[in-house]
Structure 1
């Protein structure tokens, strides 16, 4: 009888052990990735970011200073909805930052051979947090990206976010400095901006630092020393180093700015008359600027649409040269550095 009882207990134990394993499996969400292949994740992150930026942010950014005469759901006229701003918020925190965290943690775990990947993830992460704060001011930063610990993260002040972004960029540059001479992970196919050229990534990191520091300087000149230090580092200073996502055009490779026009209005901006030049832009280019005919179609000198009014047959319209399927998404040009240098010289900083 004693042996029968022991046998029953042993069999019961065998039944319990698999049940524990299954319980643990249930607690692992099969739809949530725990790692990320950078050659797959980085193109997704960059393209999703670009698509939302070009279609929703870009048009509004052009409309507020009246480079465009009018724009649907423009914050200038007040009708911006939570649906549209929610798209952008979700893009940054879920599609961009959520994936970059996985890319970064895998690269750091892999060691110095993946320093290039970790650096790229950090640079893009710093840029995302910086832009989020530029749009919304206070945002989740220090407690963001850790939903298990911070289900309702606190919102950080803009200065804290900017300083945090600077620290992340410094971390990225330090990783680039320690990339080994051999055995480096090949990220050229996933890096759709620079094809793995880490010299250009270093330049972009320094240039982003300068961009952030220039905004901080609007509040305090205490960053002047940091500005002078970063000016001595490699920056984006030639067109060959410019940061842009190039679109091939056609199905699946179209700039979303043009894609919105083609999907909802017509085959081109010139025929659909969706975006027209704002009066300030029109008047600026009309004073003998050779770029007028590149930007604006107005063969009969009809003039720009009124402020807040869309173009029609009696006004100028933005050219298809500007709104086209293969328009590159420009993220940083050397001219920005030139303007910073000129501003700092005028202020007596350099």
Structure 2
């Protein structure tokens, strides 16, 4: 990954008084402003935050808390989305509103296209966590501190359109400072279509006709074709850009997270090749043993499988949108239940599992044997459940995405309810929205949830 250094400086020059006003107001090189591609790079630096969070892992029940168990028991509490708005989204909006994008950093249309794709990806994640959120009136700064909350249905419609518009803008040539795809616009095109495909699949239960049409259109325009196309954030083996979990486990010496009992029970009996990557053998027995999610009594970290070394290595990558996800989506679309696309659902499913194993382990060793295991071998009669379950296993450490797919499909049907509390269906809004944006906040909560900003109320596509 390239290191991005943005240098902002000022200088005082000895100039004549008559020229001072003219010179200070004309700065053709803009040395004190970040370029469009630098702002894009800055927005890209926030991508790991979409995935790297204990809360996301608790929502999907991948990890069980060993120390502060109460944090994982789904307390009713607000969760802020402000950081996404005044962080990466503000940077991307600055690019989209700029009249001074520099063609020396690559075609301006390509800079705009990448900014649109990233903006859509961030907003998709945001709306799938909170529901209705500010969109069309958001990011206006001092011009509007109280933006209207748009419906999730409206946001999805706009994001589909934005992604298509971004693809149409792409032209030959690369862009500078791209720390994700190194300026390769072919990969950005495939990513935009892949986001659209997965967004379409999310609407399978609430708007199947729209979902099928958008899915097919995205697929025909070209989606990810290999793991080399994955949306990956590659951390560095240095403190300034290290993996979140390294900072927690190594730097802070926190053995706070063990694999859950359900995850190990899903993987170990079928000799899943990914399990040795996901977690470590227990120090006591030398076996893979998961911790019951929400267990509060007699937790000894020696007795359970903690997070795998490779997952929290300092330079460990974060996989955000992957080829295996696309293949799982195609497998589901080809099932008799969906029948959205031609093709053999079993073949897509097997390729998805194989590519997942390749992504996580670096080889396909053991894939054939794994796919031959009872319960893993494709079966048309339980196809959706099998696909969803293997997708859940694949999405390890991107808990928020796995949680969204669990809400949509109901699979895997193995989630536990700690102290009788069900898995949440959304995040609640920031507490201070009730004061900072009272009218629009109240309208959104009333419209969606009958006035109750609860984490157990379903989103539009989950109803």
Q: Which structure 1 residue ranges, 4+ long, deviate > 6 Å from structure 2? A: 107-112
Q: Note the alpha carbon deviations across 1:109-147, whole angstroms, 9 max, x for none.
A: 668931111001000011111111011001001111123
> 1:117 is matched with which residue?
111
2:235·2:314 contact (CA, 8 Å) conserved in 1?
Answer: yes
Structure 1's 247 and 295: CA in aligned 2 closer, same or farther, altered over 3 A? same
Q: 1:150: how far off?
A: 2.7
The answer to whether 1:48 aligns with 2:46 is yes
Q: What stretches of structure 1 of length at least 5 have no aligned partner?
A: 1-20, 26-33, 267-271
Which residue number in structure 2 is paired with residue 160 of structure 1?
154
Deviation at 1:279, TM superposition (A): 0.9
Residue by residue over 1:134-180, the C-alpha shift from the partner in whole angstroms, topping out at 9 and shown as x without a partner, is 1100100111112344321110111111111111111111111xx2x
Contact 1:302–1:315 (CA under 8 A) maintained in structure 2: yes
Go from structure 1 to structure 2 and tell me whether the alpha carbon gap of 1:240 and 1:55 turns closer, same or farther (over 3 Å shift).
closer
**Separation of aligned partners in 2, 1:314 and 1:75:** 21
Unaligned runs of 5+ in 2: 1-20, 26-31, 342-463
Post-superposition offset of 1:289: 1.7
SS of alignment partner, residue 45 of structure 2: helix
Matches within 5 A, 1:147-296: 147-176=141-170, 179=171, 181=172, 187-188=175-176, 190-223=177-210, 224-264=212-252, 266=253, 272-287=254-269, 288-296=271-279
Q: Which whole-Å CA distance do the structure 1 matches of 2:315 and 2:75 have between them?
A: 30
Larger radius of gyration: 1
| Native 8 Å contact 1:117 1:187 kept in 2 | yes
Using a 3 Å threshold, how does the CA distance of structure 1 residues 221 and 73 change in structure 2: closer, same or farther? same
Q: Please give the secondary structure, in 2, of the residue aligned with 1:252.
A: helix
- Cα 1:108–1:234 shift into 2, 3 Å: farther
Residues 64, 75 of structure 1: 8 Å contact kept = no
Matches for 1:63-102 after TM superposition, within 5 Å = 63-70=58-65, 77-79=73-75, 81-82=77-78, 85-86=79-80, 89-102=81-94
8 Å CA contact 1:107–1:118 kept in 2: the answer is: no
Matched, 1:313 2:295: no
Structure 2 length-normalised TM: 0.60
- What value does the CA root-mean-square deviation take over the aligned residues? 2.7
Higher helix share: 1
Greater CA drift, 228-237 or 287-296: 287-296
Query: Partners of 2:102 and 2:318 in 1: how far apart?
Result: 32
1:30 corresponds to: none
Number of the residue aligned with 1:343? 332
- Distance in 1, matches of 2:190 and 2:227, equals 13
Q: Partners in 1 of 2:70 and 2:124 — Cα distance? A: 22
1:192-241 CA-to-partner distances (Å, cap 9, x unmatched) read 00011000000000000111111122201221222222211210120111
Aligned residues: 300
Structure 2 counterpart SS, 1:318: coil
User: Is the CA contact (8 Å cut-off) linking 1:254 and 1:326 kept in structure 2?
Assistant: yes
Tell me what 1:60 maps to: 55
* CA distance 1:147–1:253, change in 2 (3 Å): closer
Q: 1:76 Cα shift?
A: 5.1
Give the Å deviation of 1:348. 1.3
User: Aligned to 2:183, what secondary structure does the other structure show?
Assistant: coil
Structure 2: distance between partners of 1:213 and 1:161: 13
1:38, 1:187 within 8 Å by CA — same for their partners in 2?
no
Distance (Å, rounded) in 2 between the aligned partners of 1:73 and 1:329: 25
Shift of 1:311: 5.4
Deviation per residue, 1:278-305 (Å, 9 max, x gap): 1111111211222222222225236222
